[in-house]
Amino acid sequence: MSHKIFSSLLFFLLTISFILPVGAESTVIHPYDWLVKGFYAKYEATHGLFWALVFPNGTKARFPEPNATLWWTVMDRIDTFVLLNITLIANGTAWVATPPKEENDTGIPMEGRFVTYNKTIVLQVDISSREAFLEGQPIGIIPFWAEPFGDPGEEIVLSSPPSDEITGEVSYVRTTDILGKETKIYGVRVLQLDPYTRGTFIFDWHTGLALYLTIFGPVKLSPEAKCTYNFPNGTTYNITRYASTKLGEILGLEGEFTIILRETGTINIEEENDVNMEEKNDMGIGIYHPYILILIVAILVTALALYKRKRAGRQPSVNATQPSRFHRGGS
């Protein structure tokens, strides 16, 4: 191998080495890669009165204080789906209304009572579309996360059939303190008239995780009820139907259940090997970088040895006529 060829080979291999990504820069970022097995998000109700719990027998409990917690946990992640365990717990003094037991029974309209409520469901959710399924049946899009990198004016779908369709528009992007950490967020403003709903959803700009959201439960309006929405210009709109979601209905909610994120983390569900493998797979070619460098060094060493051997073959050998420096001569 000539010196020129060896130099060219060395330059080529070193060039490949520098082109290959190194360390953290080798990570390929995928949306929702934070949705790993064991991840959980815990929320607390922001207020009472605007929502109620509906028990299977029709009894309704309305809390004057926000004594409710909801959290969801990723039980497993398979391809593009996650298995989501959702638990809603509420306890405290509530105003309880008992439905009539018979046709002529007026029931108990309202009384103060200590109430404990615990509801758990398991959903299969498509990560990208956010379409959720309960026991194989679709319940529409759920709003526990949304698209990351929301831009002002962008439309965000928050609920879809068979639930009522609810959409909002990104109204702002800003940085604020969330759970003691500076976080870039985007807010989604919701206002639609039929079915009526309004409010604000807030998502983490980088991950799409919901920081502040509302789950809408079905509301039945009596014929004599008069509900209106007043526009800033003085125009009045008569509300005939409120938007609702299957998620709210399944959880036993009525009205607007607004919650705010209080805690996130990761718990050990069985073994975390699946999580570690997913993290490695997301790193692309970067995980092989150390092995590629070793291979390059081995090629260089081999090429250099061959080059020296070939060059030495062109010169007369002198070592054969000289004693070894370890040779002590006679005994």
Report the percentage of the chain scoring pLDDT > 90: 56
Q: How many domains does the chain have?
A: 2
At 122 the three-state DSSP class reads strand
Q: Answer whether residue 327 is part of any domain.
A: no
Comparing 139 with 227, the larger pLDDT belongs to 139
Do both 42 and 168 map to the same domain? yes
pLDDT beyond 90 at 318: no
Do both 12 and 43 map to the same domain? no
Cβ atoms of 229 and 205 within 8 Å: the answer is no
Do both 207 and 300 map to the same domain? no
Do both 193 and 120 map to the same domain? yes
Q: Answer whether residue 259 is part of any domain.
A: yes
Start-to-end CA span in the chain (Å):
45
Do both 165 and 239 map to the same domain? yes
* Window from 111-115, 152-156, 220-224, 255-259 with minimum mean pLDDT: 220-224
Q: Answer whether residue 321 is part of any domain.
A: no
pLDDT (tens digit per residue) in 153-170: 999 999 999 999 999 999
Average pLDDT in the 191-197 region?
93
Q: Answer whether residue 328 is part of any domain.
A: no
User: In Å, how far from its chain's centre is CA 137?
Assistant: 22
pLDDT (tens digit per residue) in 74-114: 999 999 999 999 999 999 999 998 876 655 444 455 678 89
* Window from 9-13, 61-65, 131-135, 158-162 with minimum mean pLDDT: 9-13
User: Predicted confidence band at 313 (pLDDT cuts at 50, 70, 90)?
Assistant: low
Return the pLDDT at 69: 97
pLDDT beyond 90 at 119: yes
- How wide is the angle at C-alpha 315 spanned by C-alphas 312 and 316, nearest 5°? 120
Give the domain range for residue 114: 37-281
Last residue of a domain, one of 256, 281, 306: 281
Return the pLDDT at 66: 86
pLDDT beyond 80 at 239: yes
Do both 19 and 125 map to the same domain? no
CB atoms within 10 A of CB 32: 18
Do both 233 and 202 map to the same domain? yes
Return the pLDDT at 292: 54
Residue type at 28 in one-letter notation: V
- Phi and psi for 173 in degrees, rounded to 5? -135, 125
Average pLDDT, the chain: 81
Cβ atoms of 200 and 192 within 8 Å: the answer is no
Do both 305 and 249 map to the same domain? no
Do both 136 and 258 map to the same domain? yes
Do both 20 and 59 map to the same domain? no
Return the pLDDT at 271: 55
Do both 257 and 296 map to the same domain? no
